[in-house]
Each structure stands twice: as C-alpha cells, then as structure tokens.
Amino acid sequence: MDQQVSSQPAARNVTSVERKGDRELVVTRTFDAPPRIVFKVWSDPDLFRMWWVPKGAPMKLLACDMDVRTGGKYRLEFEAGGQTMEFFGKYLDVVPDERIVWTNDEGEEEGAVTTVTFQDQGGKTLLTFHEIYPTAEALEEAMTGSAAGLPIQLDQLEELLSTVSQ
C-alpha cells in the first residue's frame, strides 16, 4: 500500500537543457503543482535548501540567506571537498507566483542574470530557468573554463544520481 503512494507517476516530466544563441542557457521542466506552490519552493529558504543540493551530492549547503523581493539579496555558502564557495547577488525583479530575476555577482567580472518564470498550465507549472551571460565570450569561458574539472564533476553527478531515486 505504501509502495503505491511513494511510487513515481508513470509519465515523468522531462528536464530539457539547451543553449540558445551564443549567450543564453535555458532549462525547462513541468511540475505537477500550481505556480503558487512551485514559487514558494523556490523562494522560501527552508524549502529551497531541501532540494537545491540533492541528497547524496558531494557538496553541502552551509548557509542559505534569501530575501526574495525586488531589491533584496541572497547569499549561498557551499562546502565541497573541504573548500567553501560563496554565491551571492541581488533580486532584480520578483513577481510572486510568476517570476524571480537575480544577478550572479560572485565572479570577478560581470556575471550572468538568471530569470526563473512559473507559467500556469491548467494547474501544472511550466518552469523556465534562463541564464543570460553579458557576452558570448563569458558563456564560452563558463563552458570551457569548467571543462578541466568536468570529468570529475560528471562522475560525482553520476554518483549523485544513483542516490536519487529514479
């Protein structure tokens, strides 16, 4: 009986990742809940930290401060392999249940701007995660710059995925 409850729905929602043009990355996914709920899970720090770093990932989220409103700030602190990393920025535009736009200011140069939109589709939510880099070179650098460490990253992700129930 319990197995029925915890089993995944037959049709899984597909995560799509695409490069759009030479400066943008777009991730889309449908969720089986209205935008009100999906927005809450993205904007409440206690809920956000439950999924942003999936269980079993080779990194830990140490701190998660988010003041999700236009002009508010965020700061995420991770620990991976004995090192801590910080990600921070500002919310440029927040419309509850519709969209969140933030800057990524941790780098030395101008960072990407991330926009997440929540579109109602008859009680479900089409989520679009969109990153736009200031220049084509910045996106190129983000991709090639991380390439050296990437085989390891891919292996870690494989390890991670094996711990996440499919």
Partner 1 sequence: MVQYSSPSLDLSFAAISDVTRRGVLEQLARADASITGLAEKFQMTLTGMKKHVAVLERAGLVVTEKVGRVRTCKLGQRDLAAEAQWIEAHRRLFEARFAALDEVILRMKQEEEDGSASE
Contact set for partner 1, span 43-102 (CB under 8 A): 47, 50-55, 57
Q: Between residues 65 and 140, which has the closer beta carbon with respect to partner 1?
A: 140
SS3 state of residue 152: helix
CA distance 3 to 7: 6
Cβ-defined contacts of 105-110 (< 8 Å, 24+): 109/134, 109/138, 110/134, 110/138
For β-strands 24-31 and 99-103, DSSP reports them as unpaired
Can you tell me which of 81, 82, 122, 151 binds partner 1, judged by CB under 8 A? Answer: 151
- If one asks whether residue 33 binds partner 1 (CB under 8 A), the answer comes out as yes
The number of CA neighbours under 13 Å toward the Cβ of 25 is 13
Can you tell me which of 63, 80, 136, 150 binds partner 1, judged by CB under 8 A? Answer: 150
Instruction: Name the residues that contact partner 1, by CB under 8 A.
Output: 13, 15-21, 25-27, 29, 31-33, 37-38, 40-41, 47, 50-55, 57, 129, 140, 142-144, 146-148, 150-151, 153-155, 157-158, 160-161, 164-166
